[in-house]
Amino acid sequence: MPLFVFRTLSPVATTLLIEALGAIVALDLEGVDESVTDAVRSAWRDAVAHGREPELVVSVAEIAAHAASTEQVLSDLSQRVTLEAITARKGELWMLHATGLALPDGRVIVLVGPSGRGKTTAARALGAHLGYVSDETVGIDRDGRVHPYRKPLSVIEGAGFKAQLAPSELGLAPLPAVPLQVAAVVLLDRQADAADVPVVEPVDLGDAVDELVTQTSFLASMASPLQWLAALLERTGGMRRVVYREAAALHDVVDDLLAPGASTTWAPAAREATVASAGAYSRGEVQDAVALAHPDRVVVLQPGDGAMGMVRVLGGIAPALWDAADDARIDDLVDAAVAHFGAPEGQDVRALVAQAVAELVEVGALRRGEERVWQVAPDVAWHGDHARVVVLDLAQDDVDVHALEGSAAVIWMALAEGGGTVDEISARVAEDAGVPALLLRDEVARFHEVLSAAGLVRYGSCT
């Protein structure tokens, strides 16, 4: 008989696999104290994944090395996992800073709101009856499928610190064993003076888009994100807002949250940044744009330095100008506005359009074609003032004399101050005339072409 019998002992696993927004994350527990390891396993037990290879690895020891307590380790770990998961899924999902709750049939209500709006409280209040999807980020793909993130909830305990508690520890329900599909997107609006019974109201997409994009992670990484949002909201009955005081009362209006909201009538808008000739206007560069009806607006996503870009809602006469801005001059844009809205009584439509165009150019929604820099030609002499100017072309054998009066003299004096683009010269003229520069622009541009044909001025590109 052998003197010793050897048994293979199963080592304690040092990796915990969890699912976050469809990504499998390995929490590396190597070198972590047993008490911290147990706390991590307990907090994340409802997000455990099985039978899949990890896509991401998060070192708990690395986090613990900079934390003063187990509570801080758990808090920092939750933030780290969230960041890793949303970064991994950018461009693949619409990721909303939101609470998600699933009905038994898999329909998911998404409650959107910034920190402090009551998402975690709402999750606890409704999660006892509905499946807990997340209280941090809800990920939705283009088909409306919801990818859960059953992270621990941050709950204030004791001396004010936030404990990270598993959903099941708080009595929140598990997910139904069916695919999850978004059924409603609702803006949370908690108000201290709200009525006892929450009020669910429809919200127009144009009015809600600012808050939606603010609560969206990596918006600019999504393909055609505005169209994505509009299409999904159209399929789910439009946007809703719930105004409430106490989260416990939200359970009484679940059916109302699922009822159709404001209809979303939309279409892809013109997106191409067309090339404009000098002095004309074209649309500025955009990543995506949708046109909304009733009332007419255009929502545009302009490229930005960060992951968000810049979203603007163009209303009033701006959509008509946006649509017409294809190498268009001011007169073309005035015609487009009048064709769409009619001529307003008692108002200067040209001035209104000029002001709107200037504002759109300022924010980059429209852009002007490359400008020429005009200068008085060599060998040209002149004398006079704003009332009358005499200009002489000394380069000719027989000196040509040109007498300029009225607005022609004013424009020449503005040009003679040192040259410049039509816009710069128009601004000088406008300062003297006390009118918007854009109203004078076409006249100034035409006059410079006349002066150029006469050999009195010359131009180059604005650098």
The CATH number fitting domain 94-258, selected from 3.40.50, 3.10.20, 1.10.3470, 3.30.450: 3.40.50
Cross-strand pairs, 460: 373
Does domain 372-461 fall under CATH 1.10.3470.10? My reply is no
Judge contact between 52 and 21, C-beta under 8 A.
no
Note the pLDDT of residue 303.
86
Q: Is the backbone of residue 361 left (phi > 0), alpha (psi -120 to 50) or beta?
A: alpha
Residue type present at position 346 = G
Token code pair at residue 90: 């950018």
Rounded distance between C-alpha atoms, residue 180 and residue 162, angstroms = 29
Question: Does the pLDDT at position 189 exceed 80?
Answer: yes
pLDDT in tens, 234-248: 999 999 999 999 999
63 beta partners: none
Q: Do 442 and 382 form a contact (C-beta atoms < 8 A)?
A: no
- Closest residue by Cα to residue 278 from 374, 347, 157: 374
pLDDT band at 158, cuts 50/70/90? low
pLDDT value of residue 446: 84
pLDDT range class, residue 13, cuts 50, 70, 90? low
> What are the distances in angstroms from CA 6 to CA 9, 10, 11, 75?
9, 13, 15, 42
| Strand, coil or helix: 221 | helix
Give the start-to-end residue ranges of the domains of the chain: 15-88, 94-258, 266-368, 372-461
Return d(Cα 140, Cα 89) in angstroms, integer: 10
Give pTM, 2 decimals.
Answer: 0.79
Q: CA-to-CA distance for 285 and 301, rounded, in angstroms?
A: 9
Q: Using CA atoms, how far apart are residues 450 and 280, in angstroms rounded to an integer?
A: 18
- Per-residue pLDDT tens for 246-291? 999 999 999 999 998 777 789 998 667 677 787 789 999 899 999 9
329 exposed, middle or buried (CB, 10 Å; 0-12, 13-18, 19+)?
middle
What integer is the mean pLDDT of 178-191? Answer: 96
Cβ 421 vs Cβ 433: under 8 Å:
no
pLDDT, the chain, mean: 89
CA 80 remoteness from chain centre? 24
Strand partners of residue 461: 372
What confidence category does residue 153 fall into, taking pLDDT thresholds of 50, 70 and 90?
very high
Q: What is the DSSP letter of 39?
A: H
